[in-house]
Amino acid sequence: MFAGPIIAREVLTAPRPGRFYVARASYVGLLVILMWTAWQSQVGLTDVSEIGVIAYFGHLLFRLFVLFQLTLMLFFAPLSAATAVAHEKDRRTFVLLLMTDLQDVEIIVGKLAASLLQILTLLATSAPVFFLCLLLGGVSPEQVIDVIGVTAAAGLLGGSLGLLVALGRDRTFQSLALTVLTLVLTLAGVEALGYAFPGVKLLGVPIARALDPFQTVLTIVDPIAEAASTGLRPAVVFMLASSAISLVLLAFGTVMLRVWNPGRNEPREQREGAEGEEAVGEILIEVAAEPLAAHASLGATKEAQAGGPATAVASLTQAATDVLDDEAGATTGLHVPRRTHRRITRGPGPYRRPWTNPILWRELMTRAYGTKPLIIKGAYLLAFALGVAYIHLAPDPASAASRSTWTLIGLGVLSLILVNAQGVTSLTSERDTGALDLLLVTELSPKQFIYGKLYGVLYNAKEMVALPILMILWFAINGTMSIENATYAVLDGLLLTHFSAMLGIHAAITYTNSRAAVANSLGTIFFLLIGIGICAGLIVLSDRQFARQLLSFMIFIGAGSVALFASLGSKNPSRAIALVALLTPFWSFYCVISLINHDILAAFLFSAGIYGFALMAMLVPAVSDFDIALGRTSAIQG
């Protein structure tokens, strides 16, 4: 096939699973349900004969569809591309791909196209639903075409960004977290650039409007703003700019592919970090196994007879060093670093005693995820600093209060996504590398493993948990938020972070395929958040007239319950998970109504109750049925 073997394989294998068709039908069905819910929210059951009212609803529905689909594209396209590469790196199959006769550009373009194939298929499937808005009025065909083009260009740019990040990282969590943070910081940087230089234009379009996909689609939806542009249409400028940036990212990834991922021809001492030390250790073991045995049996015996055990140990150490020097140079031709020689000549050094829970000790007392997660924490600190600057640049106290609310919500959502990604990858990475199989044959109890992973995840993501809480406390100190509301917000934040981390671990236990686990975990947390946001927006737009939209909301929330059960309990169903899937969307809807009506205590009690129950519904089976879930035993064996 002219497109390359990677794309050809994806085109042939992607449509085979039934979930491919279920996803397309479910997405279109979700848009239709959202359409009916919006109609009930704005119009209700009354007969409407005025053309202006129907046209207004068509324009409003089109705006809702555009923002909803663009948000999905900017979330799933980068993560799908990053997961496609990170998954193969964890399973050590990406190196095999580099050993083939494929050119670097074929690998880069093939992985990008394969990861975006299903997402672009969903975009094409939703196009007829967007064109239905033309029948209502208020929307032109050019607007629909521009919106679909901008969404596809944003997906291409996001996928290129996610692919580039994953090529330079070694772990799945690093790839996912840096992809999300880079995307957020890029959007914030574009907004800051437009704010600092409002006169800068790109092909006659302001720089922020030309590079920010949200501003671009809002300009498309508003024909007056689009007509005010003096140059090309903003949609055309964004598509050209995003395509050019995507080509630059792909070209850079192609050039750096072999540099970031050395193949089989590079010597092992050129590897950096922990992988290099592990490779040196393997060389030492392989080279020195037989000679060390001979020297140990002969030299140590003679020295023990002459000078005692201390002299024997020194003689054995020196003999091992001499053997390693001779064998490393003569047999393999590989150079062993000097620090390894010094480490051997010193003899055995002090070692650290693990705690009663070795999993928790490893997560807290060692750098289990390497030193590169420090980059992730630095990027989150930068996002936090930008949020604080956004609040302090408010022109008046009213806008400062509004900015404080939105900044806190944004940082909270970002924290939950990162904690969830840390939770799911903490288990999938060990499964892919084979370390999980070693843990399953030890005497570790399920409680030690699950609690060690859970609180290890929270500790490694402590900055994502602590900074939003510190912001809440600062709001309570300066009077932006009352002490009572701040207390509720802190408790709810701690509960939701536990829920998000446990959701990731639950998905990793449930799905043996790492890509499926990551997709279900992040998809669940994302749809919970975006579903709550859509419900809140529709309630506000309807002027709190709940009666006329209650039936449509019940159907919308019921569909969310079915999707939630399919994600959480389809593999390992239980009554508790079924109750969580049934109650969580409905009680979340009630919490939204309580917050809008300023009934903070009711929102806190119900949110703590339902998400606390959801946390226990995933935690208890993970501890009690851990062996069965991970395949260490079977239900028949007991």
Q: Are 555 and 493 within 8 A, CB to CB?
A: no
Q: Tens digits of per-residue pLDDT, 6-27?
A: 787 777 777 777 777 888 888 8
pLDDT at 604 over 50: yes
| pLDDT the model gives residue 77 | 92
| Position 118, amino acid | Q
pLDDT bracket for residue 29 (50, 70, 90): confident
pLDDT more than 70, % of the chain = 77
pTM of the model: 0.79
The Cα–Cα gap between 14 and 121 comes to: 11
What backbone phi and psi angles, to 5 degrees, belong to 569?
A: -120, 10
Mean pLDDT value across residues 163-168: 90
Q: Are 525 and 500 within 8 A, CB to CB?
A: yes
Mean pLDDT value across residues 489-512: 90
Q: Tens digits of per-residue pLDDT, 94-113?
A: 888 888 888 888 889 888 98
The Cα–Cα gap between 302 and 10 comes to: 65
More confidently predicted of 464 and 44: 464
What does the angle CA 130 – CA 132 – CA 136 come to, to the nearest 5 degrees? 120
Which two tokens mark 342? 């010094």
The Cα–Cα gap between 558 and 475 comes to: 36
Q: Are 450 and 501 within 8 A, CB to CB?
A: no
pLDDT bracket for residue 470 (50, 70, 90): very high
| pLDDT the model gives residue 56 | 82
The Cα–Cα gap between 207 and 43 comes to: 38
Closest CA to 562 of 593, 584, 592: 584
Q: Are 215 and 229 within 8 A, CB to CB?
A: no
Instruction: Give Cα 98 to chain centroid, integer Å.
Output: 26
Q: Tens digits of per-residue pLDDT, 114-139?
A: 888 888 888 998 888 888 888 887 78
pLDDT at 213 over 80: yes
The Cα–Cα gap between 399 and 403 comes to: 6
Which two tokens mark 400? 């400062």
The Cα–Cα gap between 66 and 364 comes to: 43
Rounded CA Rg of the chain: 28
Please state, rounded to an integer, the average pLDDT across all residues of the chain: 78
What does the angle CA 183 – CA 500 – CA 65 come to, to the nearest 5 degrees? 50
Mean pLDDT value across residues 558-577: 80
Mean pLDDT value across residues 148-171: 91
| pLDDT the model gives residue 325 | 47
Q: Tokens 């799905």 sit at which residue?
A: 511
pLDDT at 499 over 90: yes
Q: Between the ranges 267-271, 403-407, 548-552, where is the mean pLDDT highest?
A: 403-407
* Residues 413-437 as b or e (16 or more Cβ within 10 Å = b): bbbbbbbbbbbbbbbbbbbbeeebe
| pLDDT the model gives residue 287 | 38
The Cα–Cα gap between 612 and 227 comes to: 51
Determine which helix (DSSP H) or strand (DSSP E) holds 202, and give its type and residue range: strand 201-202
| Alpha-carbon separation of residue 396 from 191, 194, 386, 402, 403 (angstroms) | 20, 20, 18, 10, 11
Which two tokens mark 120? 């672009």
The Cα–Cα gap between 315 and 304 comes to: 10
Residue 206: strand, helix, or coil: strand
| pLDDT the model gives residue 626 | 60
pLDDT more than 90, % of the chain = 18
> Which range has the worst mean pLDDT, 283-287, 348-352, 601-605?
283-287
Closest CA to 612 of 580, 564, 582, 574: 580
The Cα–Cα gap between 626 and 449 comes to: 9
Which two tokens mark 78? 């980068």
What backbone phi and psi angles, to 5 degrees, belong to 260?
A: -75, -30
Mean pLDDT value across residues 282-294: 40
pLDDT at 504 over 70: yes
Mean pLDDT value across residues 610-625: 86
| Position 563, amino acid | A
